[in-house]
Structure 1
């Protein structure tokens, strides 16, 4: 398959706002690719590389050689070239990678160059997000989209799912099962403005749990082995011996638990989020006495041979309580009384935590999705947004990238809707860090503004949403301020423009 075909499909998908038209174009491209190339094609059309990172920055893409007269580059050739570029290391590696990129682009037509440059720069946003791509795989393979979504949930990647669906149809998808040792995407919670509104949506008795300001963790137990994964499915077992030790003694043969890890002070209040994040981000112990993390498990997906993904929340919690002692479980009550739930909320906030989660007792575990059965309630409005650009600072911030351009995800286009700017809440340490990071992610500079690849997620507190003709979405955040960066979240997990409108009323 030629790269030209993928470039044409990308253009067609970007040129339409209709979901059905996007799905149709993607499905036709996948049919032509077939099972053998499906995984690579899915990655490219999703704006990703199968190799993830190959060490190519914006500087390597500035000087583009003259384009080829006609298309000849195949998907296999480009994939091999990317692997070769990523394998370059040692002295002179930057220059060598630049040479290899130029050689590859020199074989591409103008349209192919544009596609490959945007792919390498992380700017290929045409609306082929996971949901749209999953539906396209279903159409291309002639299988129910629910089967594709479930296989994706269990495998964590759409490429292998597309390969199986196109090769063996529904039988291939049924081969994907929950596998102890292979992480699945976590179930996510939707925001609710208040306890009353959360109970109004669920319309029944519900579980109310503390919401901690920690790191989401999926813990897999098999025999005597314990493995710990982040919400982005990266393994961090070796960094957290206290976590594996806490779980090691549980009376289970095989299990998959969902939970939260957090660094607590002696009195039980949490350390700043950065302390917890530093523990999970450190690959080797650099301090003699690292701050230990406490374990709070709140769900179980598999227990001793039984998959529990489809079981209702009440059944999963009962299974969790049978094998996990109270000191390792998330504090929780079950009630139909909003007043009791508010008391639980007040207690969590008083202890320094974020708020509570209100959970339906009937909902299954919808991995990788923001289900209506889990609702999060916080004492202030917060959003996880993506940094689109930053402006050079003035005065004491001269020489530092300061004023952040903030964007919410737009599921329809695959892009981001700008909601305003902020320079508030940034410490000297954060300013220095983000200036260095933004230079690495830069794709272009426009006067005082440096535009970056939309990869960094930042948690923003704000006082409300107001109408604004200055921004494409017609709304802007009021008094936005930075709380922290979220290295544990990808841009695909950032809040959507729909969430922004739902979480707070728009003020005229």
Structure 2
């Protein structure tokens, strides 16, 4: 298929606020795609090409595109092959090869295709073609129930491959998709409550567990073959050999485990999150040791457990991981939940997660079955821009423009980020240096005072609350926002939503 047809469909999606119209436009596109081009096209539309990030930034791409072609000739396969070539370009001479590849592509692309390709390359696709809309489009195009498509996406973690299966094999093909040891699945997510009692009111009887300030991991074991994945499903096995060795000691030959890892100090207490992430991201082994803790089990020795209630999964988890289970208690008593929360805080952890004992493992979903409670309101937001500092901070990129995720399009296009405030508080000299080096590499445009950036950097922000405000499009502003840390382990669509923040407003 010509790439121009994909660009036209994306433009149609952008131009309409109707979800039904978006679904119809995408379903029509999917029906016309050759089977081998379905997965790449879906990846382009959601801003996550199958090759991942290929090491080129906005400035590089925009500077090499050149004069656009007058007539379309590029195909979906051409763009897919280009990304393969860019990913493979490493070592001596790679910069020149990348430049030549991009210039060749730019000469063949029309103006609209150049813009589309640029967004694909830098991972910023603003078409409103979010995964939820595309799931509905896949269901419509393939005439498969939406629930069947959603479950296949959750279990495979791959919307593009799910779309290909649906369009070529229908419901029968998707129903064959299950948990597979070695194939990571989207993690189950938690909503937020202000206090343990409020969380229990949502879940009923629950497992009240420590919330660690660590990095989320999913571990797959098949015999001695162990693989470790991040919450975004990136494999980091080679970075965490100590986790691999621990899992090899467990009394099972096949496992899928969900948990966290963090580094400990000399007294056994948790080190700051930055220490864990520094070790977590190291390509070479360092002296800091990571310890894994596990809070759920999805598969054991040929048996899938995700459809069994947590009350049945927990005894199996404890039998398998023993002392590596995250501390917690099953209770329906608010006083007991408060005590577990105090114990977690006293041990240096963030708070608790309250998990309904009747809940199944809903991969990729943020519902009411898991509810996190932290004494300080912290939210994951996305950096939209950074202002140049003044006074002592002259020459440094300082004040952050912060955006919350809008998955429904209530305040614009679905999948956009709604600005909710600014902050320069909590920034150390080290963070100022990092910001000043990092953000120009993802700049999209700038003014005299502000560098606007791709909305891809997640930062954890502590706030005292929110207040009504007409200054920002979401109708709220953050109160006393300060930076806690950058979350390199999270994707932009893992950020907290504008709807979650607005729910903090007092009624009336």
TM-score (norm 2): 0.95
Instruction: Return the offset for 1:88.
Output: 2.9
- Relative distance call for 1:507 and 1:419 in structure 2 (3 A) is farther
- Relative distance call for 1:32 and 1:254 in structure 2 (3 A) is same
Q: Is the 8 A contact 1:360 1:374 kept in 2?
A: yes
- Relative distance call for 1:387 and 1:75 in structure 2 (3 A) is same
Gaps of 5+ in 2: none
Q: Which residue number in structure 1 is paired with residue 17 of structure 2?
A: 17
Q: Is it true that 1:352 corresponds to 2:348 in the alignment?
A: yes
Q: Is the 8 A contact 1:122 1:454 kept in 2?
A: no
Matches within 5 A, 1:150-299: 150-202=151-203, 204-285=204-285, 287=286, 290-299=287-296
Residues in 2 aligned to 1:238 and 1:102: alpha-carbon distance in whole angstroms: 35
SS at match of 1:246: helix
Residues in 1 aligned to 2:224 and 2:101: alpha-carbon distance in whole angstroms: 46
Which digits, 9 at most, give the CA deviation of each residue in 1:454-501, with x for residues without a partner? 111100000111111111111110111000001111111111111111
Q: Which residue number in structure 2 is paired with residue 322 of structure 1?
A: 319
- Relative distance call for 1:268 and 1:253 in structure 2 (3 A) is same
SS at match of 1:50: coil
Residues in 2 aligned to 1:52 and 1:324: alpha-carbon distance in whole angstroms: 33
Q: Which residue number in structure 2 is paired with residue 496 of structure 1?
A: 497
Once the two structures are overlaid, the 10-residue window that deviates more, 14-23 or 473-482, is: 14-23
Q: Which residue number in structure 2 is paired with residue 483 of structure 1?
A: 484
Please give the root-mean-square deviation of Cα atoms over the aligned residues, in Å: 1.7
Q: Is the 8 A contact 2:59 2:441 kept in 1?
A: no
Match of residue 405, structure 2, among 378, 402, 409? 409
Which digits, 9 at most, give the CA deviation of each residue in 1:381-430, with x for residues without a partner? 11100111111111222221111111011112211100111111011111
Residues in 2 aligned to 1:449 and 1:98: alpha-carbon distance in whole angstroms: 28
- Relative distance call for 1:65 and 1:244 in structure 2 (3 A) is closer
Q: Which residue number in structure 1 is paired with residue 57 of structure 2?
A: 57
Residues in 2 aligned to 1:47 and 1:303: alpha-carbon distance in whole angstroms: 34
Instruction: Return the offset for 1:75.
Output: 0.9
Q: Which residue number in structure 1 is paired with residue 330 of structure 2?
A: 334
Residues in 2 aligned to 1:89 and 1:215: alpha-carbon distance in whole angstroms: 29
Residues in 1 aligned to 2:429 and 2:373: alpha-carbon distance in whole angstroms: 31
Match of residue 371, structure 1, among 334, 348, 367? 367
Instruction: Return the offset for 1:92.
Output: 5.0
Q: Which residue number in structure 2 is paired with residue 39 of structure 1?
A: 39
Q: Is the 8 A contact 2:53 2:121 kept in 1?
A: no
Residues in 1 aligned to 2:236 and 2:102: alpha-carbon distance in whole angstroms: 33
Residues in 2 aligned to 1:167 and 1:54: alpha-carbon distance in whole angstroms: 29
Residues in 1 aligned to 2:235 and 2:36: alpha-carbon distance in whole angstroms: 28
Residues in 1 aligned to 2:420 and 2:168: alpha-carbon distance in whole angstroms: 43
- Relative distance call for 1:339 and 1:273 in structure 2 (3 A) is same
Q: Which residue number in structure 2 is paired with residue 382 of structure 1?
A: 378
Residues in 1 aligned to 2:70 and 2:265: alpha-carbon distance in whole angstroms: 65
Once the two structures are overlaid, the 10-residue window that deviates more, 243-252 or 157-166, is: 243-252
- Relative distance call for 1:444 and 1:122 in structure 2 (3 A) is farther
Residues in 1 aligned to 2:396 and 2:420: alpha-carbon distance in whole angstroms: 22
- Relative distance call for 1:507 and 1:105 in structure 2 (3 A) is farther
Matches within 5 A, 1:86-165: 86-165=87-166
SS at match of 2:167: helix
Q: Which residue number in structure 1 is paired with residue 422 of structure 2?
A: 421
SS at match of 2:378: strand
Which digits, 9 at most, give the CA deviation of each residue in 1:354-378, with x for residues without a partner? 1001101111101111121000000
- Relative distance call for 1:229 and 1:121 in structure 2 (3 A) is closer
Residues in 1 aligned to 2:221 and 2:112: alpha-carbon distance in whole angstroms: 49
Q: Which residue number in structure 1 is paired with residue 69 of structure 2?
A: 68
Instruction: Return the offset for 1:265.
Output: 2.1
Q: Is the 8 A contact 1:467 1:506 kept in 2?
A: no
Instruction: Return the offset for 1:507.
Output: 8.7
Q: Is the 8 A contact 1:269 1:352 kept in 2?
A: yes
Q: Is the 8 A contact 1:60 1:101 kept in 2?
A: no
Residues in 2 aligned to 1:122 and 1:487: alpha-carbon distance in whole angstroms: 15
